[in-house]
Amino acid sequence: MRKFYLLCLLLLCMVTAQAQNRALNGRVVDASNSQPLIGVSVSVKGTQAGTATDINGKFTLNVPSGQAVTLVAKYIGYADQEVAYTPTDQDITIKLPARANDLDEVVVVGYGTIKRRDLTGSVASVKASDIVKTPTHNALEAIEGRASGVDITRSSGNAGSGVNIQIRGTRSIPSYTLNPNNPNAANYPLYVIDGVQTLNASTINNLNPNDIESIDVLQDAASTAIYGSQGANGVVIVTTKKGISGKPKISYNGYYGFNGFTQFPQPRQGEDYLNLRREAYRGTTGSYQPDNVVFNNPGELAAIQAGQFVNWVDLATRNGQQQSHTVSVRGGSDATKAFFSAGYFNEQGQLRNNDYTRYTLRYNIDHKLSSWFKAGITGQLAYSKTNDRRDPLSTALTATPLGVPYNADGSINLYPIAGNTIFTSPLTDERPGASINELLSTEINTTAYTELTPIKGLTYRMNFGSILSNSRRGEFYDQYSLTQNNAKYPLARVTNSNSRYYNWDNIITYNRQFAKHNATVTVLSSYVHSDGEDVLAQGISQTLNAQNFYGLAGTQTTSRTIADPYSRYDLLAYAGRFNYSYDGRYLLQGTLRFDGASRLAPGHKWDSFPSVSAGWVASQESFLKNVSTITNLKFRASYGVTGNSGLPVYGTQSLLTAIPMGFGDTPANAYTFNGTIVAEGLGWEKSHELDLGIDFGVLKNRITGTVDFYNTKTTGLLYPRSLPQSTGQSLVYQNIASTSNQGINITLTSINIQSKSFTWSTTATFSHNREKILSLVDGRNIIDASVPEERSLFIGSPVQSFYTYKKAGIWQLNENPSAVMLGNTPFKYGDIKVQDLNGDNIIDATNDRTVIGHAQPQWYGGLQNTFRYKNIDLNIYVLARYGQTIKAEFVGRYNPSGTTNGPANFNYWTPENPTNDFPQPRTGSSLATIYPTTYPSLYYIDGSFIKIKNLSLGYTFPKSITDKFKIGTLRAYATASNIFTFTRNKLLRDYDPERGGAESAPISRQLVFGVNLDL
């Protein structure tokens, strides 16, 4: 009986205890985008009660009834949150802000991962929440300015265009001769996508940004040396999203909007244009002339009298559209995890007949077969269609602003000025079928891996990746198109390209931890193979224009051209790495890699690339552990060597070229060398880099930062040297130069305000790089014979420097221009005034040209401010570049004669208007003929700017609404891009200098409206 009473008493106590508790439900989301966080640890402060969030970020905890409680939420990569709740609170939401430089954050490095606390190299990381803030098809554009030391600009404003990227300056000399379409390719970084290495930037362009989990950029030699010659210019590691355990999560991310509203100089109109023409005759003859003398081209005067003025720039541009839609599924079990996504992106450019469409399918599957064996496969299929065209803006800007642009039926009027068949409409390519440039591309990217762990601490992993791509470009231009208007016959061309890329890695890793010591050894082999072929066929004077590029058999027989080039290269490498940590305070890493490259000369194909780095976590020392203001303080130092084979695939071989000949009536082929001869002893470009870094966090990581100082010296730079004609050849590649890059990279993040309802955080990046050429082959500068202004090399200056006369203004009436000679001709009032550097009163190319600027900015940076008030979030991102010089091509569109048009905001000199901007109008054919020699001094101007790159306003619907529709999370937002640009030079007030000065395809503004939905 006594046992029965004791049992009843125990049950009563349990019921009483249960009655004193209540269930508290809630969810945990990312503070920046309200996305649910899976696996967050949520506990009741001061107790043992705790749980973890599920796939929807939800949790349930038993807490004491009638009592206030404090919940503690912890998650890797996010700041810990302690939130107090009253006894009546229910269905709560905890918002975790991302925490920069979190010590337990996992960073992807070469052939592995490492916790940030153990990192000894310089690595910049950007997470998924930041990548998707910019509405773009290219993930690299989304991280522009967000990673210090990584200089990114959009390559053009064309639909589907990519980016230009450089990490810590220019090291190699651009190859304008042998790679004119991409001369700066030798300075591009290596891309590693889910373990597969590639130097092809189009592979990144094919990735859907919504599929990316993180992007890690390896910058210093200690981090990149494990990739040897592949990583000479930095490494961009992209990790895509993987599956997770639990109930499948279905997500939709999409937006639709507009692009256009483009900043581009407006042409002169009406009296403004007419006055320029009149001033040109006055500048030449000394007096104004009658209009029938000034406007003497056929039909001009009649069009003026009829008021037929046209703004060709407005007619040639439009406001395009942009949309993106991605559906993904993420889920799995403890054994099998999977991620699937399907994406669609479409962009209609600012020019008609310019658009880009891309479809993507991605699958990432991981399966654990046993406790010691797992395997997986990741892959993507990308298909894209690009309609391109010759940019008409230069023609539209300079075209005579007169005539009737359209016929009565709305079609393009080919000759808009009546009676003038010389002036063709700038809109000629908009005629149906007049100009076609269609590119169809398919890329299959697949990586499979197996991973074995036969004993504790020992892992073997095999990765095999392949990238298979093919494309077809079809082109047709009729005899009146912008491309063929001078030739006056149609041109048709088809190019088919196929390429195959394979990457096979075998990696063995052993980790051993004993007492306070932790050591990891990694050894690996890596093999890369790439080959591809193109087949090109073209002809002119096609029988039927309607056949466009499909009717090559109907082209003129003697004009047909067929080419089928092939290329291949291989790279084999062996590497080892040792990591050691003592007590989490003292860190050491050493790396050694051996590379063999097929494209280099015999006897120089193999080389080694070592590195060493160390770290000291000072904040773990006893004398700092009790300093409450210092949360983290780490010092890093590294030194390493990387290499670059940096030349075309067959750059060390003398190739033969066939020349058609004949003996009487018998045709025969002769052969000659292709102009490039073998350079014996051609070796690697090598970069030696020292990096000193500091990572810190203060005030419980309310303020965190990273500072890196680096010094890189690159030797053996490859350059195609010109040969005398007597050799019968034109070029030879040689290792002729050395360069230096010194700089500082800074990243700072602060949580300025953090409360239950309102948070404000700021992230700032700053990068400064000082680049210069240290030596050239014979100690003398190299003045390029073809384009001396842009391709010359100067000791003590950056690689990409501008060399010409330095503009000092315009010769004014109170000066004595005739005292200074340009050759044998004295200057006149209103002429371009340039500096006489040697003071001999003679302007000549030998003594008076100088380096007037550099393409690289003195510094660049970004500033991100994120505000959140309850369910409303606001993100403002500002981008700046300072100290860069650009070649503003549209400046050269100033025509002093007025026979062609130009920008309306250019202020030219007259006796009554003594400006120092542009010279006096005078009759002639162009700026170059009227002001020979000195006119390039107008082109090169300060391209410094600051702009609001992105502004995004979002609203996350409350749980009370989403639960009614059985939705996990729902956020709606609006984002504007490239909104306002503020330039230092007034000539750029109608132009976005991020484009780099090119007048074709300027950068456009965007406004999109989007939705993030999780079911």
Read out DSSP for 142-206? HTTTTSTTEEEEES-SSTT--EEEEESS--SPP-TTT-TTSTTGGGPPEEEETTEEE--HHHHHT
Q: Which amino acid is at 740?
A: S
What does the chain come to in residues?
1015
CATH number assigned to the domain with residue range 21-96, chosen from the 4 options 2.60.40.1120, 1.10.1060.10, 2.60.40.1930, 3.40.50.300? 2.60.40.1120
DSSP 269-281: -HHHHHHHHHHHH
Burial grade of 596 (CB within 10 A; 0-12, 13-18, 19 or more): middle
pLDDT at 593: 94
CA angle at residue 41 from 36 to 44, to 5 degrees? 115
Tokens 């020019």 belong to 351
d(CA 215, CA 193): 9
d(CA 351, CA 429): 11
Q: Token pair for residue 645?
A: 């084979």
Q: What is the CA radius of gyration of the chain?
A: 33
Whole-number Cα distances in Å, 13 to 8, 9, 496, 744, 911: 9, 6, 81, 66, 104
pLDDT at 978: 92
Beta-ladder partners of 246:
332
Q: Establish whether domains 21-96 and 102-245 are of one fold.
A: no
Beta-ladder partners of 462:
450, 506
DSSP 628: T
Asked if residue 739 lies in contact with residue 714, where contact means CB atoms within 8 angstroms, the answer is yes
Asked if residue 244 lies in contact with residue 200, where contact means CB atoms within 8 angstroms, the answer is no
d(CA 273, CA 300): 12
d(CA 107, CA 115): 6
DSSP 842-892: EE-HHHH-EEEEESS-SEEEEEEEEEEETTEEEEEEEEEEES-EEE-GGGG
Q: How many separate helices (H) and strands (E) can be counted in the chain?
A: 16, 52
pLDDT at 614: 96
d(CA 445, CA 447): 7
> What is the dihedral sign for C-alpha 129, 133, 137, 141?
negative
Q: Token pair for residue 419?
A: 């009676």
Burial grade of 801 (CB within 10 A; 0-12, 13-18, 19 or more): buried
pLDDT at 1: 47
Q: Could you tell me which of 440, 572, 557, 460 has the C-alpha nearest to residue 506? A: 460
- Which residue ranges of the chain lie beneath pLDDT 50? 1, 3-19, 100-101
pLDDT at 95: 86
Whole-number Cα distances in Å, 443 to 191, 347, 695, 947: 16, 19, 40, 35
d(CA 618, CA 616): 6
Q: Token pair for residue 476?
A: 């047709």
DSSP 513: E
DSSP 681: T
Strands (E) across 393-482 are located at 435-452, 458-477
Q: Enumerate residues 6+ apart whose C-beta is below 8 A from 816.
A: none
d(CA 725, CA 71): 81
Pairing of strands 458-477, 491-514: antiparallel
Q: Could you tell me which of 137, 93, 107 has the C-alpha nearest to residue 977? A: 137
d(CA 123, CA 855): 25
pLDDT at 757: 85
Tokens 């407005």 belong to 314
d(CA 23, CA 46): 18
Element (H or E) spanning 483, and its range? none
Q: Token pair for residue 157?
A: 């404003």
Q: Could you tell me which of 1013, 1005, 917, 943 has the C-alpha nearest to residue 971? A: 1013
Domain ranges, ordered by start, for the chain: 21-96, 102-245
d(CA 725, CA 689): 40
Element (H or E) spanning 522, and its range? strand 517-540
Pairing of strands 235-240, 190-193: parallel
> What is the dihedral sign for C-alpha 1003, 1009, 1014, 1015?
negative
d(CA 965, CA 108): 38
Phi and psi based region of residue 537 (left: phi greater than 0; alpha: psi -120 to 50; beta: remaining):
beta
DSSP 318-369: --EEEEEEEEEEEEE-SSEEEEEEEEEEEEE-SBTT-EEEEEEEEEEEEEEE
Q: Enumerate residues 6+ apart whose C-beta is below 8 A from 333.
A: 245
Element (H or E) spanning 102, and its range? none
d(CA 152, CA 167): 9
Give the side-chain half-sphere CA count within 13 A for 965. Answer: 12
Q: Domain spanning 102-245: which superfamily?
A: TonB-dependent receptor, plug domain (2.170.130.10)
